[in-house]
Structure 1
C-alpha cells in the first residue's frame, strides 16, 4: 500500500512542482546546478548550440569520409591490385614471399620424412605410417598449390558477395527516397569527391555539393536503378536513406520571434530536441561506419600475411597436435584467419543488402491510400514538424531509424565473424554508446530553465536534469519515509514505525505475531520502538539505557568508516542490558506490553551479523539509523 501511496503522491506533487518552477521562488528546491544570476537561457543555449554544431559538423565529415573509404575497401580486386602496384621489377612481392615460405616448408617436410622413416625402422611401429602417411602425401602436394587455392577461395567469396549485392537488381527493386518536399525521387550517388578542396575549387557554382562547411564536396549524379555493386548499395543506404546530406539542416520556423519568457523557453526546448535528435542520428551512423572501415583495413594485412605464409599451414595439417606445448600452437590458425578475412565482405553484404531491399520497398510501397478507411495508422502519414529537413512524418522517421538500425545491428553482428574484428568493433561500439549517452544528456544539463526569485526578481537558472534529479524516485522515497516517521511519532503505532522502516506488512499489530517474518530486523526495530512509545514507565528506564549505552554506540558505528558487529554487540553490554529491561518491566506490571522476545531477537541479530556487511545494524542503512536516533530523542523531550 505504501508504494501505491508514494506513486500517487509523486504524481500529485508534479503539478505544484512545475508551478513552483515556473512562477514561484524556488530556493526550497536547493538546485545545485545553477548558472550565474541573470544569465539569459537563450544566450546559454546559443553558445551551446554553436559548440554542438562544431561536433556535429566533424561527425558529418567523418561519416562522409568513411563512406568514401569504404567504397575503396569494398572493391573485390583491392587485395591483389594493391600488391601488384608495388614497384618491383622481379614480380609480385606477395608471391615472392609465398615462394620463400613454400621452399622452407618443403625442406621441413623433407626432414620430417627422414625422421619418420628412421622412427619406423628403429621402433618397427607401422601404425605411424597409417596415422601420418595420407596427411603427409596430401600436404606435400597441396603446399605447392597454396598460392592457387587461396585465390580460388577469394574468388568464391567475391562471387557470393556479388550475388548478394545483385539481389535488389534481380528483384527489380530500384533505390528511391523521399526528398525535402516529401516526394519520392530516384537515389543519387557521388563522383569527383574532394576532401579539403583549395579555396575557390569544388564550389556550389561549379556543380559541387559542399558539406561540413566545405571540408568535403562532391558532384551529385543519378544512381543506377539496377545497381548491383557494393558501392551502389552502400551509397544508396548511407547517402540517401540516412539523409546525411541534410542531417544538419534544421527546418525553419515560420512563427514570429518569441517575446515572452515562456515563448522563449518553448523555442529553446525545441532547439534542445533538435540537438539531441541530430546527434543521436549521427552517432548511430558514424560509429558502425567507423567499425566497418577499421575492420576492412585490418582485413588487408591479415589476407596478405595468411596468403604469404599459407604453406606453413600444412605443417599444422600434418602434425598439428604435436606443435607447441600441449598443442596450443597450431599453424592451421593461418587458414582459419584467412577464411574469416576472405568472407568478411560476404558477411557484411547480407545485412546491408537486406536492409537496402526493405527500406526501398517501404519507401515506395507504404501508401496511406492502401489503408482501410479510419485506420489508426493514417495519422502516422500526416505531415509533422520534426524540425529536421527530410523527415516530414512518423513514417519518414521510422524509415530513418530502420536504416540506421541496419547499419548498427548488421555491422556489429557481421564483424563477430572473427576475434580479430570483434574486439575492435566492440570497442568502437562502446564509444558509440558513450557518445549516444552524451548526446542525450549534454543538452539536458544546460542551466536554461529560468527560475524567478523572491519579489519577482530573476533567480537561478537550472538544468532540466538538475530539476528532475530533485524530483527523482529516490529523493521522493526518502521524503515520504520522513512523513512515515512523523506520523509514527504522533500515533505511536507499530504499523507506522514498521512502515517507516519498510519491514512489516500493513496491519501488523504491535509485537511480531507467531510465525510472522522478521523483515530483516526492520520490523523488530519498529515494533519495539512502538511498544516502548506506548509504555511511558518502561520507556523511562529504556531511554536511560539508550542514552548511556545504545545511542553513543550507534552514533559511533554510523560515523565509523568500517563497522564491527561484534564490537557493537560487546559495547551494548547485551546481557546486563536485557536484565535491566526485564527487571524494570516486571516491577511495573508490563509483562504483556513490552515484547522482550522481539527486542532480544533484534539485539541477537546485531551480535551474530557478519562484519563483512556494509551496514549490518538491524538491517537498516546509515540514513535510516540516524532517523531512529532522532526519533528516540524526540519521543519524550
Structure 2
C-alpha cells in the first residue's frame, strides 16, 4: 500500500510537470523522431479522440445524473397520490393478516391457560400483546411520522448555510479578478431539445452544443422564486464549486495545430496530458453522483416494501426468537425503514458543511507565488488557487458520499462497487501508451510502466536516462521477449519447465535449488528459440513466461542459475610444524 501511494504521488507529480513544462519535456528533435517507434502524431491524435469522446460522454452523463438527483430526493415523487393509495391497500392486507395471527395467538393462549390452569404466563404476555395490537393498527401512521421527521431533518441540514452568518455562495469570474454570485440551474435541455432554445435566450448556456444546455439564475433570484435549500446547496456545490458547467470545455484546443503545418507531436502529447487530468476530474465527480443516484433509487422500493409490511414487525416482536432461521423482522423491516428514511439527512451533512467552508474559502485572497500560476485547463479555472478549491469540492463529495452510503448493507454493496470502478477509471490516463520509449513488449510505454521501470543503472554517462540501456552482462530484452513468447505458445514446454520450478521451496539449500533450475533450463533449451539464448536470458524468459512466481522465488532462481562455487582453499594454509631451531645434541 505504501509503494502504491508513493507511485501515485510520483505519477501526479509527473503529470503536473508535463502540464506546466510539457513543451520542453516533449521537445523531440527531428533526428530522434525515428526513436518514437510508431508514436506518431496520428497515434496521439487517435488517443486524443478516444479520451475526448469519453470526456464528452461523462459530461453528458453528469448532467443527466444531476437532473435525476433532484428527482429521487423529492418526497412527492416517492409518495405520489396514486402510489400512496396502492401502498395503503397493500398495508391494509398485511395488517389484516397480522390481526388474524394475533387472534390465533389469543385463542391458543386461552386454550393453553384452561388446559394447564396456569395464568402466570398469560398475565406476563397480556400487556405486551395489547400494546402490539395497537401498534399494528397504527403501523401506517407511525412510518409516515418517521418519514416526515426525516424530511424535516434533511431540510434543516440543508438550511444550515442560510442559518449561519456565512458568506453567500460565490465563485470567481471568468477572468479570476472578482467574485460572482453562484447560479442555480433551473432548467435543462438535452440533445434535440437544445435546438429549440431561441438564440440569446436569457440565462441559457450550452457547455456541449447539441448535447446539453442549461438555464441558470443567480442564487438570490432562485431563492426568491421558491428554490429549496436542498437545490441551492446541491447546485452550488456541484455546478458552481465543482465546475460542472465548465468541465467539458478544454482550454487551448487550437494548440494542437502547429502553425497550419499539421499536428506537432510534442504539443499533442501535452494536450493528451491535459485531457487525462480532465478525465480524472470527471471521474471524481460522476461516480459519487452515480452512487447517490443508485442509492436513492434503491431507497424508494425499500421504503415501499418496509411500509407495506410494517405490521409484521409487531408480530415479529411477539414471536421474538421463535421464527425459523433466526429471522429478525425488526431489523430487516423496522430499522431498515428508519435508515432509508434518514438517508437524505445523512448525505446532506457533508454537502452542507462542504458548501459552507467553500463559500468562506472563496472570500480569501489567493496567495502570491505558486498559487497564482496560470492554469489553462478548464474554462473558468484561471490559476492553481481556483483549481485547488475545485479539487477540494470534489474530495468532499467523493469522501462524504461513499462514507455515508457504505454504512447500509444494501447501498454499501453498490456504492463500494461504484467506488472501485471509479478508482480503476482514474488510473486509465496513466495507462495510455504516450511515452516515446519502448517497453519490454516492444510497444510504447505508459506513464505507470515508465515509473515502474525506472532503474538508476540505465543512466548514461552524459546524464541522459535511456530505458532498457544494455549494461554489461544484462539480458537482451528483445531476446528475452522472444523466449517468453515461445514459452507462452507451447503449453507442453511451459508444463515441463513449471514442474521443475514448482519443486523449489524457500528453505531449500542452494545446491538443490540449482539442480531444479538447471533442469528447467535444460527443458527450455529443447525449444529452438530458447536454445540460442544464454543461460541468464533463458532464466529471465522462464520467469516472465511462468508469470506467477513471487519476488522471492524469482530472486532465488536468478541467484542459483549457475552452480555454486566449490569451497576455495584457505588463503594462508597452516604451515607444517618447523624443526626446532636448536635440535638437541646426542650425548657423546
Q: Deviations over 1:468-498 (max 9, x none)?
A: 2684359979999987999xxxxxxxxxxxx
Output the CA distance in 2 between the equivalents of 1:45 and 1:256: 10
Q: Which one has the bigger helix percentage?
A: 1
1:195 aligned residue:
190
Selected match of 1:98 from 78, 91, 97: 91
1:178-217 to 2 correspondences below 5 Å? 178-182=172-176, 183-198=178-193, 200-202=195-197, 204-207=199-202, 208-217=204-213
Q: Tell me which residue corresponds to 1:73.
A: 72
Equivalent positions of 1:168-567 (< 5 A) are 168-173=161-166, 174-182=168-176, 183-198=178-193, 200-202=195-197, 204-207=199-202, 208-224=204-220, 229-252=229-252, 258=258, 264-325=264-325, 327-364=326-363, 366-368=364-366, 377-442=367-432, 445-446=433-434, 449=436, 462-465=444-447, 468=450, 471-473=453-455, 554-557=517-520
8 Å CA contact retained: 2:291, 2:415:
yes
2:66 and 2:30 map into 1 onto residues whose CA distance is 50
Query: Could you tell me whether the CA contact under 8 Å between 2:431 and 2:446 is conserved in 1?
Result: no
Q: Is the 8 A contact 2:194 2:210 kept in 1?
A: no
What is the deviation of 1:123?
3.3
Contact 1:558 1:622 in 2 (8 A): no
CA pair 621-212 structure 1, distance change in 2 beyond 3 A: farther
Q: Distance in 1 between matches of 2:173 and 2:27?
A: 45
Selected match of 1:112 from 102, 105, 115: 105
Q: SS of the counterpart of 1:405?
A: helix
Shift of 1:259: 7.5
**Secondary structure in 2 matching 1:247:** coil
CA contact (8 A) 2:173 2:179 kept: yes
Question: 1:316 offset after TM fit, Å?
Answer: 1.1
**Aligned-partner Cα distance in 2 for 1:630–1:20:** 50
Residues 301 and 450 of structure 1, relative CA distance in 2, 3 Å threshold: closer
Q: Deviations over 1:49-107 (max 9, x none)?
A: 122111111100110111111111222333222xx135xxxx81111111111111111
Alignment pair present for 1:85 and 2:73: no
Aligned length: 471
Question: Does the Cα contact within 8 Å between 1:446 and 1:464 map onto a contact in 2?
Answer: yes
* Partner Cα separation in structure 2 for residue 463 and residue 278 of structure 1: 21
Matching of residue 63 in structure 1 with residue 62 in structure 2 = yes
Q: TM-score, normalized by length of structure 1?
A: 0.65
Is the 8 Å Cα contact of residues 90 and 308 (structure 2) preserved in structure 1? yes
Deviations, residues 286-343 of structure 1 (Å, cap 9, x unaligned): 0000000011111111111111111111111211211113x23535521111001100
What is the rounded CA distance, in whole Å, between the counterparts of 1:465 and 1:296 in structure 2?
Answer: 38
Distance 1:367 1:521, change over 3 A: same
Aligned to 1:454: none
Task: Give the equivalent residue in structure 1 for 2:121.
Answer: 128
Question: Offset of 1:353 from its aligned partner?
Answer: 0.5
Tell me, in whole angstroms, the C-alpha distance in 1 between the residues paired with 2:337 and 2:423: 31
Indicate the SS of the match to 1:244: coil
**Cα distance, 1:130–1:358 mapped onto 2, change above 3 Å:** farther
Residue 148 of structure 1 corresponds to which residue in structure 2? 141
Q: 2:541: which partner in 1?
A: none
So what's the TM-score if we normalise by structure 2? 0.70
Partners of 1:191 and 1:550 in 2: how far apart?
Answer: 73
Aligned partners of 1:197 and 1:216 also within 8 Å: no
**1: CA distance, partners of 2:86 / 2:448:** 63
Residues 166, 554 of structure 1: CA spacing in aligned structure 2 closer, same or farther, 3 A cutoff? closer
In the superposition, relative to structure 1, how do residues 204 and 419 fare at CA in structure 2: closer, same or farther (>3 Å)? farther
- CA distance in 2 between counterparts of 1:417 and 1:467 reads 36
- Give RMSD over aligned pairs: 4.1
**Alpha-carbon distance in 1 for matches of 2:344, 2:92:** 28
Report the 3-state secondary structure (helix = DSSP H, G, I; strand = E; otherwise coil) of the residue aligned with 2:121: helix
What's the offset of the Cα at 1:350?
Answer: 0.4
Query: Secondary structure, in 3 states, of the residue corresponding to 1:193?
Result: strand
| Partner residue in 1 for 2:44 | 45
Counterparts of residues 569-588 of structure 1 (less than 5 Å): none
Quick one: structure 1 residues 403 and 333, their matched pair in 2 at CA, closer, same or farther if it must change by over 3 Å?
same
* Alpha-carbon distance between aligned partners in 1 of 2:277 and 2:368, rounded to the nearest angstrom: 24
Q: Which runs of 5+ in 2 are unaligned?
A: 1-24, 460-466, 476-505, 525-547, 567-588
Shift of residue 553 of structure 1? Answer: 5.5
Say if 1:176 and 1:363, in contact at 8 Å, map to a contact too: yes
Structure 1 residues 616 and 307 mapped into 2: Cα distance closer, same or farther (>3 Å)?
closer
Match in the other structure for 1:137: 130
